[in-house]
Amino acid sequence: MSTQQAALSRGRTSLVLATLFLGSYVLGSAELLMVGLLNLVSTDLQISVPAAGELVTAYALGMSIGGPLLTALTIKLNKRVVLVGAVVLFALGNLVPVLVDSYGLFLAARALTGSLNGLFIAVAFVAGISIVPPERAGRAISTVFSGFAVSAATGAPLGTLLGQSLGWRNSFVAVVVLAVLTAVATTVLLPSLPSASGGGGAGNQVRYAFAPRVLAVLFLGFLAFASLYTALTYIVPYLERVTGISGALLSVFLLVYGVATAVGSFGGGRFADERSGRTMLIGSIGAAASLLVLFLGGAIAFVAAIALLSLGLFALGMVPAFQYRVISLAGPGGQLASSLPASAANAGIAVGSTIGGVAIVGLGDSGAVAVGLIIAAATIPVAWAAGLLKPPAVEEPAGQPAAVEPTAGTAS
């Protein structure tokens, strides 16, 4: 890592990180872009809205399952080649709904592009870490993740806007154009990043990436996202029926949350560099406290806005530390492990949204927030325990990007 990092100027390093941010934003936007297009796609393809919703699910499953599989298959390849290839294939996959009317092919294309998104994110984390000093690894991770966080905040609104103004197929044309531009930027700006030899092949990577200490932190991430999306999936009906807001004001509240997630994900990298274990614990406590305030004071619009702002800052602020912790605890398996946090997060999102729906039916308008709070409270002791874990005691070559966490970062 030091050799590669020394070969890049500070300006070139910033350009590379900006390119990785762009890639994670473009690929991430395609997931929630579909949320804003559901009604249009349903009408045009003559399918039900729930069937159109499966196009979102297929993408998430692709990230959760296909992402790690593709990462394992490409571990020994040059990282620039993998990143460019992933974006090019992603662009081709998003041409499918533009050119054909088949729902089945559309569904398959969504699963494929989701898998490629998972691959890109995993390799982008490794690439970002490899071009910065170890003490800035958390900030490199936060830059890559911030693209994904910003896309989550803007994807659905952009999908709605583009779909209504240009037609839903042209929304995917826009994604393809942005993906092509990303592929060009990645080809031009990224240096050659040969795979580090210290981690070995996929088999050796699996042994370290799925070690109990790594699984423990992945479980923490699963719980954190389950608690967040148990409440967040149904936040609009909560704001309408409990807080008493509607119309354009709803968009303002959601924008407040979206901006907070972007700020939290950017800022969280600095804290991840210093003490990743403690950052996860503080993030878990802050998220639980935010949900508590939302549950108790959600009937007051100002209080609800502050609670959403705090929730976005704490919940997304811990994500760079989460990613950083998984990679460092995996040691030589860090390249494969870099794909696993996205899988854990998407699993948590799927479970949380399901639990939230059940809670709304059984407990009323505040049910999803209440259950999200309970899960968030259970996350706190898990975060404390995860902060005590240590990376494996193995000796790694100087170029290995997996063991990036400095001694201070392993303390809780």
> What tens digit of pLDDT does each residue of 338-351 get?
778 878 887 887 78
The CA-based diameter of the chain, rounded to the nearest angstrom, is: 59
Per-residue model confidence as pLDDT tens digits over 125-165: 888 888 888 777 777 877 887 787 777 666 656 666 777 77
Predicted pLDDT of residue 36: 67
Which residue do the tokens 């981690």 mark? Answer: 199
The span from the CA of 105 to the CA of 111, in Å, is 10
Per-residue model confidence as pLDDT tens digits over 71-101: 888 888 898 999 999 999 999 999 999 998 8
Sequence letter at residue 232: L
pLDDT along the chain (412 residues), means of 10: 51 86 88 75 83 80 86 86 95 93 92 92 86 77 78 67 80 91 93 67 74 91 90 81 82 80 76 75 94 93 93 87 84 79 82 82 86 95 89 54 38 34
Ordered by where they begin, the domains of the chain are 2-189 (1.20.1250.20), 202-391+398-410 (1.20.1250.20)
Is the pTM above the cut of 0.75? no
How many CB atoms sit inside 10 A of residue 242's CB?
18
| Mean residue pLDDT across the chain | 81
